[in-house]
Amino acid sequence: MPVDFNGTWNLVSNDNFEGYMVALGIDFATRKIAKMLKPQKVIKQDGDSFHIHTTSTFRDYVLQFKIGQEFEEDNKGLDNRKCKSLVTWENDKLVCVQTGEKKNRGWTHWLEGDDLHLELRCENQVCRQVFKRA
């Protein structure tokens, strides 16, 4: 049985989002706004299909994928760079590799107790986010 990520999750901590955004080339003005945000994630998981909606007062981002099926991701409203993304299970972690212009780009989701964790990686920067159930 895979882990169940279904639910609505509110950001409670956000370590080095600034470094992650700098690595992505997000401009100063956008970073100033973005780092104040407390995004919410709505995750819908049905078998191997996922729908992750990250919402905030500033911008929204929607990601839909199936485990093991590579897809083109446009990162619209983030850095707007296209990449090829592939999400797989690594034990109980959901691991995404985003292949493109930026080295070492990807993210990992996992559950720890009642918390949802997200590690966002780009080049030599790692951002660590923790979410609690809404």
**Site for ligand VLZ, rule CB under 6 A:** 21, 26, 30, 34, 37, 39, 41, 52, 54, 56, 58-59, 61, 63, 78, 107, 118, 120
Q: Are strands 49-55 and 61-66 parallel, antiparallel or unpaired?
A: antiparallel
CB of 47 to ligand VLZ, least distance (A): 18
CB of 29 to ligand VLZ, least distance (A): 11
Question: Two tokens at 42?
Answer: 């709505």
Evaluate whether 88 touches 68 at the Cβ level (below 8 Å). Answer: yes
Quick one: 20 or 47, whose CB is closer to ligand VLZ? 20
Which amino acid would we find at residue 55?
Answer: T
Residues constituting the chain: 134
Q: How far, in whole angstroms, is CA 77 from its chain's centroid?
A: 13
CB of 103 to ligand VLZ, least distance (A): 17
Tokens 């034990």 identify what position? Answer: 91
CB of 38 to ligand VLZ, least distance (A): 10
Quick one: 91 or 122, whose CB is closer to ligand VLZ? 122
